């Protein structure tokens, strides 16, 4: 599974790509509706993307997967290497932990943005 999120002046969007061992591609993309009153940070959007990918995999019955993302923060926090200090991220992290617990095996790879 590849996941990515983007937050910029034109809005918020997330994308996920699941690739089966046979090479089948399952893309998903969503435009998020955060408001000026409740803006999202790039890290929140990255969490949203990872959550969408894991939810999609679970819906498809996938229980073993390698996760690729360019958000070092999300990947380190989900592995327990870094603490989730930002109060805005804690609910996302808590939900992600619930999803992760439903998998038999998840492996994580950080892909630098470059």
Q: What is the pLDDT of residue 77?
A: 97
Burial degree of 94 (CB within 10 A; 0-12, 13-18, 19+): exposed
Q: What is the pLDDT of residue 85?
A: 93
Per-chain mean pLDDT for the chain: 93
Distance, CA of 72 to CA of 22 (rounded, Å):
28
Superfamily of structural domain 2-110: Ribonuclease H-like superfamily/Ribonuclease H (3.30.420.10)
**Residues 6+ away with beta carbon under 8 Å from 77:** 83, 84, 89, 93
Provide the 10 A C-beta neighbour count for residue 56: 18
Closest alpha carbon to 5 in 43, 36, 39, 33:
43
pTM of the model: 0.93
Q: What is the pLDDT of residue 17?
A: 97
Burial degree of 60 (CB within 10 A; 0-12, 13-18, 19+): exposed
Q: Which residues of the chain have pLDDT under 50?
A: none
Q: What is the pLDDT of residue 104?
A: 97
Q: What is the pLDDT of residue 40?
A: 85
């Amino acid at each position: 599974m590849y996941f990515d999120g983007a937050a910029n002046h034109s809005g918020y969007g997330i994308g996920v790509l699941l690739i089966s061992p046979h090479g089948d591609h399952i893309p998903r993309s969503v435009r998020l509706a955060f408001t000026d009153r409740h803006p999202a940070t790039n890290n929140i959007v990255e969490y949203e993307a990872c959550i969408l990918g894991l939810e999609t995999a679970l819906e498809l019955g996938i229980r073993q997967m390698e996760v690729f993302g360019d958000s070092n923060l999300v990947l380190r926090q989900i592995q327990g290497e870094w603490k989730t200090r930002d109060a805005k991220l804690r609910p996302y992290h808590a939900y992600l932990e619930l999803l992760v617990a439903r998998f038999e095996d998840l492996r994580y790879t950080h892909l630098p943005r470059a």
